[in-house]
Amino acid sequence: MNRAYRPSAQETGWTHEANLIAGERISTEQVLSLFHEQSTILLLRLGQEIVACVHVQGGQSGTYIGMLATNPTMQTQGIGKQMLLHAEAYAIEHYNASVLKVSVLSLRPELLAFYERRGYALTGQVEEYPLSAGVGQPMVTGIQVLSLEKRVRKPSIQASIVKM
């Protein structure tokens, strides 16, 4: 997560926000707090290296998908799109999701467009940047968190009898 969103100057990727926010995107303690019922972190590994991750959190009003990140050296290969598809399928299968939710920083139009191309729409819900959440310090003013949703249909089960 930290390498994807807040990489060093030598690492670049299209998802980074290092020019907008200083500090770590997530701490070890914050990751550990996600390991509980109704919460899953999906990982993609290449050997022992984590290449991508995404967090899926079940809830009453919808399933939240967050922490979608790909190693900066492997971005632009479609891995993030595939991870999002897996997260959506997981949410439907394991959390019975009918509404998928994501959030995006307001100063990240390319990331907003990424989700909109995949069927997510702005809800109109806008929150201030969570300064007290320990997810970094804004270096520019006016950063807000935008909420998006995608309604999904659960696959219907169809039984059929085949006579031989």
Q: What is the pLDDT of residues 56-72, one digit of tens each?
A: 999 888 999 999 999 88
Residue 120 resides in a domain: yes
- 57 within some domain: yes
Tell me, yes or no, whether 52 lies in a domain.
yes
Does an H or E element contain 63, and which? Answer: strand 63-70
| Domain total of the chain | 1
Distance in angstroms between the alpha carbons of the first and the last residue of the chain? 53
Task: Please write the tens of the pLDDT for every residue from 13-42.
Answer: 666 777 788 888 888 888 888 888 899 999
| Cβ contacts of 118-121, under 8 Å, gap ≥ 24 | 118/81, 118/84, 118/150, 119/150, 120/148, 120/149, 120/150, 121/148, 121/149, 121/150
Q: Residue 53's pLDDT band (boundaries 50, 70, 90)?
A: very high
What is the pTM for the complete model shown? Answer: 0.85
Residue 65 covered by a domain:
yes
Share in percent of the chain as helix, strand, coil (round to 5): 25, 30, 45
Q: Determine the pLDDT at residue 100.
A: 98
Q: Inform me whether the pLDDT recorded for 52 exceeds 70.
A: yes
Structural domain boundaries, residue 118: 2-151
Residue 105 maps to a domain: yes
The pLDDT value recorded for residue 10 is 67
* More confident site: 19 or 156: 19
Neighbouring CB atoms inside 10 A of 135's CB total 18
Query: Is 157 within the bounds of a domain?
Result: no
- The answer to the question of residue 159 being in a domain is no
Judged against a pLDDT cut of 90, whether residue 104 lies above it is answered with yes
The CATH code of the domain that includes 26 is 3.40.630.30
Q: Is residue 160 part of a domain?
A: no
